[in-house]
Amino acid sequence: MQRWQPKLGLIQETLLLTLHARALDAGQPSPILGDTLSADLAGTIDYDFGKLKVKPNLVLTTALRAKKLDEVVRAYTAAHPGCVVLDLGCGLDTRMFRCAPPPGVDWYDIDFPEVVHLRAACLPGRSHLVGADLTSSDWLTAIPGDRPAMIVAEGLLPFMPGDSFQAMTRALAAHFPSGELALNGYTRFAAWAMKYHPTIKALGIKAAQGFDDPHEPESWGAGLKLVEEQILTRAPEVARFPQPLRALTRLTARSTALSRQGARILRYRF
């Protein structure tokens, strides 16, 4: 079996963290996402995943947020079978394989050029690959702007510096006639606290930004309108969490403020 040796910068290396978490979930007796392709893919990467020290709660929340974002993408592509899908900061996510969109959907996986090169080699698929730094919007000229767009950004927000995530949403909303943006939210505290997370610490990353009020992106000048906030401590899948994490998650679910510090899915229309 061919083994790939990733040559990635620190921010790019975070894609191995989410890949590893999905792979670990797939190996559980009762997986949340059950993404066996991620498990196979992780097996082909020559990397010391153990150094990431991924804990069971990170496996569960990563799998759950991926599942919920998949549901959003599936619903949108079913309702708009001629749309484009943009997976921003796609890393080595197997989302297109999991969502299996209708044939009329054009899917774009976008990440830094070195990530896209790795992806092309180890995860060939039918998506269009775009190698770009999302802090600039030059790459958008390669994307058709006359179709509705489903834009998904998983695990991206805290790694975008300054107000570049906001600027990117303005450029995206101006490019398409209509669409949805779905992301996993990070509160300011969660984004700040990430740098003390053992895994992020192990990678030496200083992740930065988040927002508390799910309505805040409505003021970014992109014409975003909040459609839904899913608090994942209240998701039915929590019933499948092993103890004591299930009990702890159910306790946390009683407080919206506390729950928001963990995984939540935000969906906006423009």
Ligand X SMILES: C[S@@+](CC[C@H](N)C(=O)[O-])C[C@H]1O[C@@H](n2cnc3c(N)ncnc32)[C@H](O)[C@@H]1O
Question: What is the contact surface with ligand X in residues (CB under 6 A)?
Answer: 11-12, 14-15, 18-19, 89-91, 93, 111-112, 115, 133-135, 154-156, 159-160
Q: Is 94 helix (H, G, I), strand (E, B) or coil?
A: coil
Closer to ligand X at the Cβ: 135 or 256?
135
Nearest distance from residue 224's CB to ligand X, in Å? Answer: 20
Q: How far is the CB of 199 from ligand X (least distance, A)?
A: 10
Looking at the DSSP bridge assignments, the partners of residue 87 are 109, 152
Give the contacts of 151 (CB within 8 A, at least 6 positions apart): 85, 86, 88, 172, 179, 180, 181, 182
Instruction: In angstroms, give the least distance from the CB of 98 to ligand X.
Output: 12
Question: Is the CB of residue 144 less than 8 Å from the CB of residue 104?
Answer: no
CB of 109 to ligand X, least distance (A): 9
What is the number of other CB atoms lying within 10 angstroms of the CB of residue 142?
A: 11
What is the spatial distance between Cα 94 and Cα 72, in angstroms, rounded to a whole number? 15
Query: What's the N-to-C CA distance of the chain in angstroms?
Result: 45
Q: State the minimum distance, in angstroms, from the CB of residue 255 to ligand X.
A: 26
Give 159 or 213: the residue with its C-beta nearer to ligand X: 159
